[in-house]
Every structure is written in structure tokens, then in C-alpha cells.
Amino acid sequence: MRAETRRVLDLLGSHVDENAMISSLSIADKQMVEIAKAISRDARVVFMDEPTAVLSREETNFLFRQVRKLRDQGTSFVFVSHKLDEVMELTDRVTVLRRPMDQDFADIDP
């Protein structure tokens, strides 16, 4: 099991020690572990709710690189955020929900 864990973490380019206790990891590393879990379970869609809320810009950039890499391999992401600059940087399609009945949709040009 540890070998498979290391394989998936390596796939993500993550330096997380596969022997580390989750409680000892940084928030950014915990998020990488969650993405690795989803990938190891062959998830085709990964939901991310405010994943960058407590990340530094450097950690956010690393996370986005991994998301793009997985996207290019066929994994889809649902990215929930109030940071519109990140939404525009990362997404192909946007749905804006301001109140339960108000919705706007837009495709994002690369």
C-alpha cells in the first residue's frame, strides 16, 4: 500500500512522505493527499471547495499545476471559490451562484 501511495504522490509531483501522519502535514500537503486519494480511486471528477483559502501563492501555484496536469489526463474538477482571479485562471466554464435562484453561465476562452 505504501508503494502505491508513493506512486500516486510521485504522479502529482508531491514531496509528501507516504509514512507521515496526516496530522503532521501542512494544509497544502493535506490537499495533495486528498487529490492523491481521489486519483488512486480512479476518480474522474474531483470536487474542490475553497481549496486555496489558506494557501500561499506558491502553494496555490503548485496546486494549480497539479490540477492542470490531471485535467490534461482527463480528470474533471469542480472548483468552488470566491477568488475570481483564480477562477478565471483555472477554469474552462464558470457558473456564478449569488442567490439560490440566480445563475449565470460562461465559457472561458483559453
28-84: per-residue pLDDT in tens?
Answer: 888 888 888 887 888 899 898 888 888 888 888 888 888 898 889 899 999 888 888
3-state secondary structure of 51: coil
Enclosing domain of residue 94: 2-107
* Largest pairwise CA distance in the chain: 47
Alpha helices in the chain (DSSP H): 2-11, 27-40, 57-72, 84-90
Is there a contact between 43 and 70 (Cβ–Cβ < 8 Å)?
Answer: no
Other CB atoms within a 10 A radius of the CB of residue 78 amount to 11
Percent of the chain at pLDDT exceeding 90: 9
pLDDT value at residue 100:
64
Distance between CA atoms of residues 85 and 72, nearest Å: 21
What is the CATH number for 34? 3.40.50.300
